[in-house]
Structure 1
């Protein structure tokens, strides 16, 4: 059973994984078994697509979030966007969607995200959330460009306490259409992760919604990673509804946007190259949406900070007439 009065991420997400596998031909996915586990290819050998990415994002939110395409783009050149909402944003984003479990075997490495994390509980974060889940199936999303080895599949199943046949692994290369969507759909999760890092009480975050422009997929990893990050850092908007004093809501709003970082102002691919690929050399305060609205539910007041950096979005995405 899950924590009393809190939903089971595993129970909510299992039907999403099953429907995705059943609709594989429509979604242009490939399904195979590796070490007994069900592996869904969403962009390595199978082409995947935008709808596959949208469904993967909802799976990654543990069935507690809704993801939709709309017209909230970052500029006239890029008019379409991805919007994500969750009525339980802390559990959906930090308890499921956050890529917090490091998985490696030999030369294979991936950060595992998805509802299965709440079953393995390899992260201290679950003690902070006070959440534990149980079940016989588990789903993970891996942002990788090659299938995992059987040895890693076996270890993940063991750590989850389930048979390999109950495990679903969804593979989404960053440069693929599905990978692009599922990364950009993390705009709300990125905000929640920074809320946690800033020390704001997570139990006071009641609701949340976020949107970010949909970039074209990059031809290579660095371009793709840069565009998907820039969509959030320079084109993303998040609104959080919180309880508590206005002063604390306003303080959170002031500290939350990506503009609070010393590294703000350059496309992410340039920042990444400048630190020679060392993520830990990048200011962690950069990883947040461009624009933030924090609404204090007790008073009804809202605090707006940050701004969309349209020129940076266009530069990153490769608008006509720009380098």
Structure 2
């Protein structure tokens, strides 16, 4: 049996006719630029007051940081495990990333280690929730990186609404993905929402696009992506339930890792940790099961961040990145695919050497 790591065709196939209608609508109306109110609908979905659309999750982080108007070279805490965009947004906005080690089992930022910084970006990695409330006492701005956690909640509140700003990527492979690049910021602060819109529009005033009152970037969501996302948002809760169902089946194994128990885990990625990762991947691949690695190198070890690491040693992150392997998990996986993946995972530990 062949089990793909992800299969976007399965979630898009039932929506094809609607997508074609959307394309015709865009061509007829020439509504090529602007998110067609998707940011408003997404902010309502998350229970936040304001939504600001942009071109990508990376841009979302950048404009969120810029909107805080921190002093140049401010120190911003980021976890040692995330996609490079998290720390890259800090550098590109003129600040200094301070890498915080992670929990050795969940890969999530050790929030108790965040000290002496001007801002913090907790990452809800793999769909797990960081205990953001523990950061509130620091009295510094909090930007939640929710790129992998659409629909995740903590005590009934959507991630992204606990800190000052929540940043989401709508990259196609995300739990809620566009048919191209897209991103959104959410906030309950009107002033921040206005500033983010300005920074995403070359610093232009809301009602006068030729009056640029600050610096900024040109980061706009395409109209067609906004319409695609509005349609897909209607199905997000169903897809999330399916992800949770599959994740819990995997977690029933005696060999399951210990995921975060904070809030509702939406299982963007189901990972396992293997000392013999190469052998494990080879075994799974030989049995037709695709795997991934998220991520093979911790952020402080990347060449592009060397000048910021200094004597920083994130031991847990380094070891985690040596061991992590991601298993197939996506909506509409068949029972046979789920059972076979779990069987191979278990059989690997029972095989004769």
TM-score, structure 1 normalization = 0.27
TM-score, structure 2 normalization = 0.25
- Structure having greater relative contact order (Cα 8 Å, sep ≥ 6): 2
Q: Which has the higher strand share?
A: 1
